[in-house]
Structure 1
């Protein structure tokens, strides 16, 4: 019998981990090259021993994620899931009011938009719910037929005034992804309206990397290895990586899944010939734009903010602070006693995020902390800066028309080099997982 086929996966985020699972189960020898110290990519949570539980939550699992739901059940991870509140507060100049889209009655009582706009928002939502089976937030093959080149803003203005849009739909999109509704395909907003109502939100108690680690069982993990080049050889594809000590190392495999952000994927494959990476795929990678993200974590005394809440900025302007999420935590004091605190994540707006990228943490906190009251007027002045995380490739922007390009590239995936990542559809873990499965199947069925 011949030896098993060898596959390298470049990137240990959720897309790469999902691809690893499919390939290992098919009998392949799989090696994952990951620049970071662990798996999970942008879904990976940080840990600090001062808090209990020790995990800093980053990404959520939502009840309408079908693939992740099956994986959670298969791996017996239901005990890892902790339900969090779906309460949303919309801030108007620091004055925040609740808005829950779970009930039409709550929307009708919402004070920051006119009755006509509230009715228009409710009607738009019901219209999309009727199309739920066809509108998909994760699968470009399903979303592409609805991608008519219009933006979320174009769509919303058919149902509500500019102010209604700015305080109803815009904050529920931009507050979680930080990209401009004018820059995003209407499919994204329509799918959210179709699926978000009545959904539940959960996080993994020990961080989403517990799922990433289960997905990659049976694969070789090369953590701290930064891939710098891919080369075709007579034997296959040579993967050139830099080890944690800085030494270059080459590994020859039969094929490769490139599961990095699109700009990195474009750079790694830039010298490969056109019959390996076609012109449309190369353009698709090179033109993908991202909104970066910086997550600031603070510890505050309970009572000054609602626990388990999402607080997002309303209005059309790029705000200083875009979003806050609050999680109850226990914090160990100097004597080892646990006290109740809130772990508050704050995300700056687009301009401030770009200005602070790469700055020292002290400088970043000094710029952001005085601005927290612009989102929540009574934000505690004695808050404790706790942790900061940068993500230069935070949110891939699903621009109008991009779903159609994504569908064509997805259908054209073929060995020896295929691609995976949430940029194929939307910045969600579910979309990343689906793209990884698709990339693996493209290798297995060739």
Structure 2
């Protein structure tokens, strides 16, 4: 169509696909480059035919995710939602105790901290819930005013005893994201307290990538295309990528959304001048740090562990094993008969994750298997090693001050190049999608709201 604006998106994760949806709706011709052979990015699940359902869930959906809730209804995916338990088992040196996010009674019976600490934690949580409208786990524009430069640890120690922080709030932050509370902004902890209580948790039966795939409909998908160079010439953006056969492919577009992890975005746009990527934006990208993620998965007999459980390590230390998540699955035996099993996702602590990343699969299983009993002493003695997934850019660290930087960049983004990713606020699919929507709006000259 003559005169139709042509936009490229680099990155087919939740942010890039959310941007694609907005730009296709606006009537643009959209070409989307993704280095992997499928969409979803870090939210993409793996699939194995030996289990039913055949999906290895990577991320969860929580009931207060506004954008995702709207899209799940729009796409008619309600029947794909599988509710999981909100109970977290927090382990104190191998002694796990259950704590439900939607039950104050559960907190009052929680044995890892004294009663006075539990009451203080409950009062502080209710105080943050009363201020809920001021906090947002996903939106830097709302979070930035509360980003006062303090850490989550400093906040916790000022509101509750060290013991209460280490065995109530810390495990609920580090058990989901694996970054250290000493490294993240206090507003992240406050938003978590304000919103998590009473929430329902779900997974999509066929994986979170289902939403990415629906959002990318109408875009020209270039899967297995790794972008190697971006240049600006003659008022156009020239993009060079390597296809699945290693052959170079060049596309010329009017503008661009870069929806990759921040360090990759910085590298890809290094040749663009300061009139396109200013120094402040470049610094924001280059200084973003990440905690990698390593998911080591096993099959065990049903009943040997609680089903749909999230088991996390308490305490201030970086534990050898950070958390485990269990999901019910069925496996066919040699006679084709279904057998109930639990799929157990085990996530090493920070030091072990960094040490094991990129190592041979056999070495990773051999290192993690002896650690399983550190979180659950009665873990079965003969778990079946099943699958390993690595995420070198697992969790962007929302360090003190980054919410303010993110809000300023969000307001200043402008054509011909904008950026999107969960590093704009927090490592959640909802935050990634919101950043994609706003990056698309900025290309169209619409101010963020």
TM-score, normalization by structure 1: 0.99
Residue of structure 2 equivalent to 1:258: 258
Residue of structure 2 equivalent to 1:47: 47
Residue of structure 1 equivalent to 2:332: 332
Number of aligned residue pairs: give it: 446
Residue of structure 2 equivalent to 1:344: 344
Q: CA deviation at 1:246?
A: 0.7
Residue of structure 1 equivalent to 2:426: 426
Q: Tell me which moved more, 107-116 or 1-10.
A: 1-10
Residue of structure 2 equivalent to 1:413: 413
1:122-201 equivalent positions in 2, closer than 5 A:
122-201=122-201
Instruction: Determine if the alignment matches structure 1 residue 108 to structure 2 residue 108.
Output: yes
What SS does the aligned partner of 2:31 have?
Answer: strand
Q: Deviations over 1:391-442 (max 9, x none)?
A: 0000000001110000001111111110000000000000000000000000
Q: CA deviation at 1:210?
A: 1.1
Separation in 2, partners of 1:235, 1:249? 20
Residue of structure 2 equivalent to 1:275: 275
Residue of structure 1 equivalent to 2:395: 395
1:78-93 equivalent positions in 2, closer than 5 A:
78-93=78-93
1:228-377 equivalent positions in 2, closer than 5 A:
228-377=228-377
Q: CA deviation at 1:169?
A: 0.3
What SS does the aligned partner of 2:322 have?
Answer: strand
Question: Does the 8 Å contact 1:178/1:349 carry over to 2?
Answer: yes
Q: CA deviation at 1:248?
A: 1.2
What SS does the aligned partner of 1:38 have?
Answer: coil
Separation in 1, partners of 2:309, 2:424? 30
Q: Deviations over 1:240-286 (max 9, x none)?
A: 10111011111100001000000000000111100100111000000
Separation in 1, partners of 2:9, 2:271? 18
Separation in 2, partners of 1:5, 1:225? 22
Question: Does the 8 Å contact 1:86/1:201 carry over to 2?
Answer: yes
Separation in 2, partners of 1:55, 1:408? 38
Residue of structure 2 equivalent to 1:23: 23
Q: Deviations over 1:204-254 (max 9, x none)?
A: 001111111110111011000000110001150001101110111111000
Q: CA deviation at 1:304?
A: 1.6
Runs of 4+ that moved beyond 2 A: none
Question: Does the 8 Å contact 2:101/2:199 carry over to 1?
Answer: no
Q: CA deviation at 1:105?
A: 2.1
Q: CA deviation at 1:58?
A: 0.9
Could you list the runs of 5+ residues in structure 2 that have no partner in the other structure? none
Q: Deviations over 1:83-140 (max 9, x none)?
A: 1111110001111010123222221111001122111211111111011111000000
Separation in 2, partners of 1:271, 1:116? 58
What SS does the aligned partner of 2:134 have?
Answer: coil
Q: CA deviation at 1:335?
A: 1.7
Separation in 2, partners of 1:45, 1:39? 10
Q: CA deviation at 1:63?
A: 0.2
Question: Does the 8 Å contact 1:298/1:386 carry over to 2?
Answer: yes
Could you list the runs of 5+ residues in structure 1 that have no partner in the other structure? none
What SS does the aligned partner of 1:143 have?
Answer: helix
